[in-house]
Structures are given as C-alpha cells and as structure tokens.
Amino acid sequence: MEDRIILVDKPAGISSFGVVARVRRGLRDEFGRKIKVGHTGTLDPFATGLLILLSGKMTKRSNEFLKLDKEYEATVRLGCVSSTGDPEGEITKVNERVPEKSEIEKVINGFIGKIQQKVPKFSAIKINGRRAYQLARKGEEFETPTREVEIYSIDILGYNYPELRIRCHVSSGTYIRTLGEDIGEKLGTGAYLTALRRTKVGKYDVANAEKLEDFLEM
C-alpha cells in the first residue's frame, strides 16, 4: 500500500527530515515511482522514538496527528546549561547545588496544568519563512513566540544527581527541552536534556513502531 501510516522508531543522530527522505527513497524503490511522504511532528536530531510518517493520500490527514497529545521520557542533567537545551550545544557549568528529591517534586508539580512556554530558538518553527534553528546557527537576532501548552503529568523515573529521569504527558506544541531548562531554572541549578525519547503520540505507541533500518530493508 502506498497510502499508509508509517510508525518509525527514530534513532539518534538523524533529523526527522532525514528520516522522511530515506523512507521516501525506500518507497520509490518499492513502487518504482515517487511516493509523497510527510511527517506529523518533528523530533530533534539527538532524540529517539516515535515518528509518525504519512505516505500517498494519507498525507492530507497530517493536521489530525499534529494535534495529538504526546508522551516523552527525558534525562535532565542538573548543574549545567546548554546553548541549545540539549547535548549538541555549548555546555556551561552553573553550580554544584544538589536539590533534594522532595524539592524537585515540588518544582515539577508547579508545571502541571496550562502554562506559557517560549518556543526555543533551536526549533523547527518558521520565522519569516525560515527555520528558527537555521537563523540561530548563523547567530542572527530574532524572537520566538510564547505559546500556551498543557502539561498533564510529570513522573520522576529516577534521580541520581546530576541526572533526573522523567516521563511527561503533554499537549501538542510542548517543548520538553524548554521544560527541562525551566525546571533547572526553578531549582536554581540550571539544566539541559541529555536524552529524549518520544514514546506515544495519541493512541500510537513506539512499541508498535519499526526501526528505521528494518523498515528500509522490508
């Protein structure tokens, strides 16, 4: 079938657009002609997990998927900040303050509900027709919008300073990198993400996704 929903477990080190390009080439080889392929929400290159792609006529339904809630697992490193909010940026040490788990729980609970979140400069949104991350990499000055998002839940999966592992259930449009930075700011330690994995988009689970290489081999 050329009109389908494709669930891919994205590996680290490749952009979402890179995944789309490789899947498009794979379908072209399979059907002997060009097949339209699009994503339904990007993942950062360092991130892994569920990437939903649509092919053929299914691409017309992309807006349905963009609005779905999402679930992530993230590793937050306290005590430092990153220029990009992730391991790909310039890392700067803030301090060696070690917050108690109870303090972290209190700070995290303060983010539950509807909050205002500023879109990070290293993101795929368009500013005057250009991707924000492209402008940021060139050192250009620009402002990103602030959006209302909703955090449904944040669970602590583990804490061994400086690493804090969390699971987040959030609305569409939420940036987990920004959430990690905001948690670090509230704690007075600074923070950035060292790992991020998207596990669910709406009813779709990464457990049912194919590894990129496995899909291409098929």
Nearest residue to 111 (alpha-carbon basis) of 78, 69, 67, 155 = 155
d(C-alpha 169, C-alpha 183), whole Å: 16
Nearest residue to 146 (alpha-carbon basis) of 173, 113, 112 = 173
Three-class secondary structure of residue 157 per DSSP:
strand
Nearest residue to 175 (alpha-carbon basis) of 118, 132, 137 = 118
**3 has catalytic annotation:** no
**DSSP state string for 165-195:** EEEEEE-TT--HHHHHHHHHHHHTS-EEEEE
**Per the residue annotation, which of 3, 29, 44, 69 is the catalytic one?**
44
- Give how far the C-alpha of residue 47 lies from the chain's centroid of Cα atoms, to the nearest Å: 6
CA distances from residue 212 to 10, 28, 81, 126 in whole angstroms, order as listed: 6, 16, 31, 27
> What's 218's DSSP letter?
-
Active site residues: 44
